[in-house]
Amino acid sequence: MSFHEDLSLRVEKVNNLLESVMKVDTGLSEYLMEAMRYSVYGTGKRLRPILMEASAELFRGDAPELPYFMAAIELIHSYSLVHDDMPCIDNDEYRRGRKTTHAVYGETTALLAGDGLLNFAYETAAAAFNDTKDPVKTANALKILARKAGIFGMVGGQAVDVHCEKNNDPLTQEKLLYIHENKTAALIEAAMMIGAVLGGASQTDVKKMEEAASAIGIAFQIRDDILDVVGTFEELGKPIGSDADNDKDTYVTLFGFDKAKEDVQMYSDKALSIIESFGGDKEFLLKLVESLISRNK
């Protein structure tokens, strides 16, 4: 099986998992669940749950708790995009080639849909305790998910990003790397660390996985900054050059195009080196990281 065939099967697996999780009767608030489903059922890459599963494969492999956390992390990622697109933050009307949630359902419902996705994510992850034979391991995975998604991770990075943009606070190298490490990399760290924990990794190996995931996340975001300059709407499914139009500093504007390309390769090489040091089934994960370097969307 080729890498792309394997990737397509994994994406389909995650999509089916999400549909199964979100087939619930919510009664009078069904309109809200409809907006939540719209936010999740787009054409996402499902990168984080796939990274989680591939990370688990480096160790013991499949674990009964894994599907709960795979769904939960994608729900959290989806909520973050719903809020990120809203008028009070980025005011984007398109994502992945279609209208954003607030553009379809209005700001109020979009705000509540994001809140609902976040809370539903933790309900979903907590349900893993029903199937686990190791409650301590499951609790550790839940702690990682909560911390990396919160003020010490994704939300903290988003806060600094918004503060700098809304208050015309100059974006230094230190602040930019903090934003990339937290706003983007933290949830990737959560995915790969949880995969390692549920796969039976040692604490030392979980820490190494965090380092690899940090490098992947930073490389991913720098590549995103590059694509905002050279990409097309057809490839990315969202407006191109929005950062420049909003006078927003990025890795490219601070360090230049060539330096940005070099650093994508540098961070990617670091991640690949760490992953190579593990035993287990790592072929897919290595190819996935390599594909992120040259992605066009």
Q: In this structure, which amino acid lies at residue 116?
A: G
What's the half-sphere exposure (Cβ side, CA atoms, 13 Å) at 78? 33
Show the domains of the chain with their CATH numbers.
Answer: 3-293 (1.10.600.10)
For residue 103, give the nearest of 39, 31, 165, 32 by alpha carbon.
39
Note the pLDDT of residue 233.
42
Note the pLDDT of residue 235.
46
Exposed e or buried b per residue across 116-139, where buried means at least 16 C-beta atoms within 10 angstroms of its C-beta: bbbebbbebbebbeeebeeeebbe
Ranges in the chain, pLDDT < 50 = 232-236, 238, 240-241, 244-245
- The pLDDT mean for the chain works out to 91
Note the pLDDT of residue 60.
78
Q: What is the pLDDT of residues 123-177, one digit of tens each?
A: 999 999 999 999 999 999 999 999 999 999 999 999 999 999 888 888 888 999 9
Note the pLDDT of residue 247.
60
Q: What is the pLDDT of residues 79-103, one digit of tens each?
A: 999 999 999 999 999 988 899 999 9
Note the pLDDT of residue 232.
47
3-state class percentages of the chain: helix first, strand second, coil last, to nearest 5: 75, 0, 25
Note the pLDDT of residue 236.
45
